[in-house]
Structures are given as structure tokens and as C-alpha cells.
């Protein structure tokens, strides 16, 4: 190992110790007192325990692998948006295309238990946002997050902020998605390799999603959804908050409706976002709104169905039709892609069913 490499290793080790052994506020104050000299600040720490030394060596070994790096407060490519947030991380572990950090980003977040319509809207908005010039940022969670990441990769790039070490992809079923993000975008975590996905980590990581972004779009969220934490943190950081409206009886729409009541921008198309945030790239043609009033459809079954999952009994009561007639007409709409059948003999309109026939 060369002298320069040894010096770099010592510098990295100092940053890792400061970020891993001290609270964020205490670490920043110590760095400030030491003129941002991490090795000098490290001298104020007690000798590491055996476990701390093991974790330090694990992190250093991880950083030696291709594509892995540590973003430190004060680095030239530390995102300005994140730096200007209320609680910028001291250091972030990165895996993937670090050069993308200087690109503008917009967050898409939502429930882990979305409706089919919510998944479709997340995909559509992710594609539109990427085409408008932003990178999509989200949390790699099941549901809305995963749909937004996957759709963004079809058109451009996306960043995933994890609540665990980057060697502990969570949820496990998103490992293949994480591998694709690594190739085209960036995996980001405040947590060192080996850190498991502890519940307390996720609300904390949400501040990074909010801080990296110029705005935050909530697609679907219940009243106790972690997505509302991200939206609140985005608002506190001075970022725009957007929310999609939904059916008034849908639990997955209640969080979005609360945000709108509190001042979030109601969004029906990309243009609603562009009205608040200038596009970072040449503006694409504005898409048509992703939903239209049910009354615009001439099909009585579609009118009765609406955009909220409905059971067979409810449809019969609304229409006054027999079971066989409802199922026959529903089958035709399924073949046309206008309706999706859900478990428990429930049905929901798809985006294709939102336009007049």
C-alpha cells in the first residue's frame, strides 16, 4: 500500500468513526470545532471497542469494492439540495453511478399496500418525471416505491435510499431491482455495511429522500403511512409537496387527502408538478390527466364501478342487474383491459377504463 493510499484509508476511517460512533449533531459540532479535519476530530474519540473496530474494518473492506464509495460532508459532489436540508448526513455510503449526484431529483413515495390503480399511477408519473429531466428518488420499499423505481429505469435513472447497510438489501424480493438500480442509478445509505433493516432506521432515512429532492410526490398513503413522514420532512426542508387524490372511502387515499387539506398541491398530471417546479430538461408534451370523471363514460357498468374496488353484490345493487348479466359484461371489460378482477370477487377500473369508449 502506498503512502497516499494509507493516508486515504486513515481519512476514510476517521469519517467512518465520526459518523458511526457519534450522534449526527455531536459529530458535526466536533468537525466544525476541528476545522472540518476528520482525523483531528477523531483524536477526541475514545479508543474503539473490539466490535467498533470490526465494523470499521468491514466498512473499509466494502469501500474497496468497485462502484462503492463514501460521500462526505464537504465533498465537491455533495448534493446542494441535501446540504441545504435541516439535518444533512455526515457521510453516505454509495453503490452505483456516483456522478449522478449532481442531477436534480424528485421523490415518489407511497404505501406498501397499493391498489392496482395506485401502482399504475406510480409507474406513469415516474416515467413522466424522468422524461422531464429529474431522477426519481424513493426508498426501495414494496408497493409504490418499487413501482416508481422500476418504471424510472425504463426511461432513465433512479436512486434508492435504504434503511440498512447496502449489503443488506431490504426487502429481499427487491434484490434484482436493486441490482438494476446499481447499474443505472445509485443505492444510498447512511448505515454502514452489516447494519440490519431496523424499524427505527426508516423514519430517519426518509429525511434523506426528502433532502435529496426538489419536491415529493405522494401517490397513495394511509393516515399512518411512513410516506407522510417523508412529505412532512420535505415541507420542513422547504420543498414542494404533491399528492394524488383518490376515492374518499379508500384507506390508501386518506393520507393524500390530509396532505392536500394541509396545503400540498393536488396533482392529476405532470403539468401540475411543472407549474410549481421548472423542468430541469426541455419540457416534454404535457400528458392528458390520468383520470377523468366517471360520468364521461357511457358504459353503465363502468359508471357504477368507479375507481374504487367494488364487490359483486354492491354492483348488483347499484345497477339492478342479475349476477349473470354483471359477470358477463365484466368479462368483456376485462378482455378490453378496462377492468381488473381482484381477490374476493371485487373489481376495479384500470387507467384504460378512465377514457370514454
pLDDT tens for residues 223-259? 999 999 999 999 999 999 999 999 999 999 999 999 9
Q: In this structure, is residue 9 part of a structural domain? A: yes
Residue 11 clears pLDDT 90, i.e. is over it: no
pLDDT at 324: 72
250 in the same domain as 104: yes
Per-residue confidence band for 326, with pLDDT thresholds at 50, 70 and 90: confident
Distance CA 225, CA 234 (A): 15
Q: What DSSP letter does each residue of 290-350 carry, written as one string?
A: S---GGG---HHHHHHTTS-EEHHHHHHHHT--HHHHHHHHHHHHHTTSEEEETTTEEEE-
323 in the same domain as 217: no
160 in the same domain as 20: no
Q: Which three cell numbers stand for residue 272?
A: 401540475
Q: For residues 284 and 132, is the Cβ–Cβ distance under 8 A?
A: yes
Residue 283 clears pLDDT 60, i.e. is over it: no
Q: In this structure, is residue 186 part of a structural domain? A: yes
Residue (of 24, 25, 21, 29) closest to 45 by Cα position? 21
**For position 158, which CATH number holds?**
3.40.50.450
Question: Chain-wide mean pLDDT for the chain?
Answer: 86
Q: In this structure, is residue 285 part of a structural domain? A: no
**For position 310, which CATH number holds?**
1.10.10.10
pLDDT at 36: 79
Q: In this structure, is residue 173 part of a structural domain? A: yes
184 in the same domain as 139: yes
Residue 139 clears pLDDT 90, i.e. is over it: yes
240 burial type by CB count under 10 A (0-12 exposed, 13-18 middle, 19+ buried): middle
pLDDT tens for residues 161-196? 999 999 999 999 999 999 999 999 999 999 999 999
> Of 20, 40, 64, which marks where a domain is finished?
64
Q: In this structure, is residue 34 part of a structural domain? A: yes
164 in the same domain as 246: yes
300 in the same domain as 257: no
Q: How far apart are the first and last CA of the chain?
A: 70
> Which residue blocks in the chain are alpha helix, DSSP H?
3-21, 24-33, 38-42, 50-63, 80-83, 116-131, 144-155, 175-184, 201-212, 226-236, 251-261, 270-274, 300-305, 312-319, 323-335
The residue assigned the cell 471497542 is 49
pLDDT at 289: 41
Higher-confidence residue of 259 and 26: namely 259
224 in the same domain as 345: no
Distance CA 160, CA 141 (A): 9
pLDDT at 294: 36
φ, ψ of residue 347 to 5 degrees: the values are -135, 155
Q: How many residues does the chain have?
A: 357
116 in the same domain as 242: yes
Residue 4 clears pLDDT 50, i.e. is over it: no
> Of 213, 243, 274, which marks where a domain is finished?
274
Residue 146 clears pLDDT 80, i.e. is over it: yes
| Number of folded domains that form the chain | 3
What is the SS3 assignment for 230-267? Answer: HHHHHHHCCCEEEECCCCCCCHHHHHHHHHHHCCCEEC
Residue 106 clears pLDDT 90, i.e. is over it: yes
Q: Is 100 helix (H, G, I), strand (E, B) or coil?
A: helix
> Of 274, 307, 322, which marks where a domain is finished?
274
C-alpha 73: how far from chain center? 23
254 in the same domain as 107: yes
pTM of the model: 0.79
Structural domain range at position 202: 99-274
pLDDT at 262: 96
Residue 207 clears pLDDT 50, i.e. is over it: yes
The residue assigned the cell 462503492 is 68
Q: In this structure, is residue 93 part of a structural domain? A: no
357 burial type by CB count under 10 A (0-12 exposed, 13-18 middle, 19+ buried): exposed
Q: Other C-beta atoms within 10 Å of 24: how many?
A: 15
309 in the same domain as 270: no
Q: Characterize the bridge pairing of strands 240-243 and 91-96.
A: unpaired
Distance CA 159, CA 107 (A): 9
Q: In this structure, is residue 77 part of a structural domain? A: no
Per-residue confidence band for 305, with pLDDT thresholds at 50, 70 and 90: confident
148 in the same domain as 10: no
Residue 120 clears pLDDT 70, i.e. is over it: yes
pLDDT tens for residues 35-83? 778 888 888 888 888 998 999 999 999 999 999 999 998 899 999 999 9
Distance CA 269, CA 23 (A): 41
310 in the same domain as 268: no
Q: In this structure, is residue 110 part of a structural domain? A: yes
Amino acid at each position: 500500500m502506498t503512502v497516499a493510499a494509507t493516508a486515504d484509508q486513515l481519512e476514510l476511517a476517521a469519517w467512518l468513526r465520526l459518523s458511526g460512533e457519534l450522534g449526527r449533531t455531536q459529530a458535526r459540532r466536533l468537525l466544525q470545532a476541528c476545522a472540518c479535519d476528520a482525523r483531528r476530530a477523531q483524536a477526541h474519540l475514545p479508543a474503539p471497542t473490539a466490535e467498533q473496530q470490526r465494523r470499521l474494518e468491514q466498512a473499509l473492506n466494502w469501500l474497496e469494492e468497485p462502484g462503492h464509495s463514501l460521500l462526505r460532508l464537504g465533498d465537491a459532489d455533495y448534493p446542494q439540495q441535501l446540504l441545504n436540508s435541516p439535518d444533512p448526513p455526515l457521510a453516505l455510503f454509495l453503490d452505483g453511478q456516483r456522478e449522478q449526484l449532481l442531477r436534480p431529483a424528485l421523490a415518489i413515495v407511497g404505501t406498501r399496500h397499493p391498489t392496482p390503480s395506485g401502482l399504475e399511477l406510480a409507474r406513469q408519473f415516474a416515467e413522466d418525471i424522468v422524461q422531464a429531466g429529474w431522477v426519481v428518488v424513493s426508498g426501495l420499499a414494496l408497493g409504490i416505491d418499487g413501482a416508481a423505481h422500476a418504471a424510472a429505469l425504463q426511461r432513465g435513472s433512479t436512486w434508492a435510499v435504504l434503511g440498512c447497510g447496502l449489503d443488506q438489501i431490504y426487502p429481499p424480493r427487491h434484490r434484482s431491482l436493486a441490482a438494476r438500480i446499481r447499474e443505472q442509478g445509485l443505492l444510498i445509505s447512511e448505515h454502514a455495511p452489516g447494519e440490519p433493516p431496523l424499524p427505527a432506521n426508516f423514519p430517519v432515512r426518509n429525511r434523506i429522500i426528502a433532502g435529496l429532492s426538489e419536491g415529493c410526490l405522494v401517490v397513495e398513503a394511509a393516515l399512518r403511512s411512513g410516506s407522510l413522514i417523508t412529505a412532512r420532512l420535505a415541507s420542513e426542508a422547504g420543498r414542494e409537496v404533491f399528492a394524488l387524490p383518490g376515492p374518499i372511502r379508500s384507506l390508501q387515499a386518506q393520507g393524500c387527502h390530509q396532505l392536500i387539506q394541509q396545503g400540498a398541491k393536488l396533482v392529476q398530471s405532470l403539468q401540475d408538478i411543472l407549474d410549481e417546479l421548472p423542468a430541469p430538461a426541455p419540457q416534454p408534451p404535457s400528458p392528458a390527466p390520468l383520470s377523468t370523471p366517471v360520468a364521461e363514460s357511457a358504459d353503465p357498468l363502468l359508471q357504477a364501478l368507479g375507481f374504487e374496488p367494488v364487490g359483486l353484490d354492491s354492483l348488483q345493487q347499484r345497477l339492478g342487474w342479475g349476477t349473470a348479466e354483471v359477470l358477463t359484461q365484466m368479462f368483456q371489460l376485462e378482455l378490453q383491459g378496462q377492468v381488473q378482477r381482484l381477490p374476493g370477487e371485487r373489481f376495479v377500473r384500470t387507467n384504460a377504463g378512465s377514457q370514454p369508449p
